[in-house]
């Protein structure tokens, strides 16, 4: 199962990277979202899938799934959420100021 999930994560990265290389800001933000989904799935997969009960201590259960990757992913989800919302507002401001959302036109002046 881990191998299949690795492939799924790889495919998410593929689409994410493809979106990153596009011209429109919105597509780029979608790309970053896809990549963070891929990364979260990858962290979970690397911690081994389904080796026990959910990591909540219950009397009598000795085998739990690895809680550490879950804590890491939780932190990461929140951070990527913060970044995504920031990027969205940045895209909005960029468009308002420059009247374009095309990355090829957003190049700055010669000597910047």
Partner 1 sequence: MLHLAVLAPILFAVLVPFLYSKVRSIHTGWFVLIVPVSLFSYFLSYLPKIKEGTIVQTVNWIPSLNINYDLYLDGLSFLFSMLITGIGSLVVLYSIYYLHKSEKLGHFYVYLLIFMTAMLGVVLSDNLFVLYTFWELTSLSSFLLIGFWNHRERSRYGAQKSMLITVFGGLAMLGGFVLLSVTAGTSSIRGVIDNADLVLNSPLFTGILILILLGAFTKSAQFPFHIWLPDAMEAPTPVSAYLHSATMVKAGIYLVARLSLLFAGTDLFFILVSGFGLLTLCWGSYMAVRQTDLKGILAYSTISQLGMIMSMLGIGTEVAVFAAIFHIFNHATFKGSLFMVAGIVDHETGTRDIRRLGGLMTLMPITATLALFGTFSMAGMPLPILNGFLSKEMFFESTLNLGHEGSSLVATVAPFYPIIAIFGSIFTFVYSVLLFFKTFTGKGDLSKLEKKPHEPPFGMHLSPVILVALIVIIGLFPNLINGPIITPAVEAVYGSAPDKHIYFWHGFNSVPLLMSLIVVALGLVLYITREKWLSFYNVMPGRFSANKTYDYIVENVFTMSKKATSFYMTGSLRLYMSLILLFLVIVTGSIFIITDGFSISTDNLAPINWTEILIGLIMVGAAFATVLSNNRITSILVLGVVGFGLSLLFVIYRAPDLALTQLIVETVTVALFLLCFYHLPELKKREESVGNNLLNWIISISVGTIITLTAIASHSTKLFETISDYFVETSVPLGGGHNIVNVILVDMRGLDTMLEITVLGLAALAIFTMIKLRKDGEAD
| Stretch 56-95 residues interacting with partner 1 (CB under 8 A) | 56-58, 64-68, 70-71, 73-75, 77-79, 81-86, 88-93, 95
- Interface with partner 1 (CB under 8 A), residue total 84
Nearer residue to partner 1 within complex by CB, 60 or 85: 85
Q: Are 33 and 66 in contact, with CB atoms under 8 Å apart?
A: no
DSSP 82-104: HHHHHHHHHHHHHHHHHS--BTT
Q: Minimum CB separation from partner 1 for residue 24, in Å? A: 6
Q: Which of residues 92-111 bind partner 1 (CB under 8 A)?
A: 92-93, 95-96, 101, 103-104, 106-108
Q: Are 43 and 83 in contact, with CB atoms under 8 Å apart?
A: no
Would you say how long the chain is, in residues?
112
């Amino acid at each position: 199962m881990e191998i299949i999930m690795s492939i799924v994560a790889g495919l998410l990265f593929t689409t994410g990277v493809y979106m990153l290389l596009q011209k429109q800001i919105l597509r780029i933000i979608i790309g970053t979202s896809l990549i963070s989904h891929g990364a979260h799935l990858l962290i979970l997969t690397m911690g081994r899938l389904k080796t026990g009960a959910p990591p909540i201590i219950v009397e009598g259960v000795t085998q739990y799934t690895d809680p550490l990757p879950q804590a890491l992913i939780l932190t990461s989800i929140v951070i990527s959420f913060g970044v995504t919302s920031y990027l969205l507002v940045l895209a909005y401001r960029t468009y308002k100021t420059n009247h374009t959302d095309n990355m090829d036109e957003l190049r700055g002046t010669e000597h910047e």
